[in-house]
Amino acid sequence: MEKILTMSLRKLFVIGAAILALGVAASGVLAQTAEQRGQIVAAKTQGIVGEQADGYLGFRTPTADPALQQAVTDTNAARREVYAASAREVGTTTEVAAARMFESQLLPRMTAGQWYRNAAGQWVQR
């Protein structure tokens, strides 16, 4: 009975991790609040914030806006949790899972005009 319960809990965790990962993939931005998400979308449009090859958001240009800085920090922390869960499930590192998410989900969904930092550390406009 305990083995069955453990298997069921594990399956539930796997399903939960997959749903979280799909949420990141579907939205392109995982922020803590709708307001933060809006700030990030606006900052991406303005070229202040961009996706990075490591799977996290980065600042292309400096900002003194503490709310935007917090939105990026919160988003990256949430992504880190999702990447770590995904990495555990497939037996890889968080860094590899994050880079794969960038390559397979984040980069292809970027719109024209948005900026991203490639693996060489260069900011490139899509």
**Residue 106: its pLDDT value, please?**
95
Q: CA 117, CA 13: separation in Å to the nearest integer?
A: 32
CB 40 within 8 A of CB 31: yes
Tell me the pLDDT tens digit for each residue of 16-25: 454 455 454 4
**Residue 14: its pLDDT value, please?**
47
User: With 80 as the cut, is the pLDDT of residue 9 above it?
Assistant: no
Instruction: Name which residue leads in pLDDT, 11 or 88.
Output: 88
CB 51 within 8 A of CB 119: no
Q: Taking the model in full, what pTM does it have?
A: 0.74
Tell me the pLDDT tens digit for each residue of 24-51: 444 444 557 999 999 999 999 999 999 9
Q: Poorest-confidence range of 11-15, 76-80, 118-122?
A: 11-15
Question: CA 85, 86, 92, 93: dihedral to nearest 10 degrees?
Answer: -60
* Cross-strand partners of 49: 59
Element (H, E) at 64: none
CB 115 within 8 A of CB 126: yes
- How would you list the strands of the sheet with 115-117, edge to edge? 57-59, 49-52, 115-117, 123-125
Q: CA 30, CA 74: separation in Å to the nearest integer?
A: 9
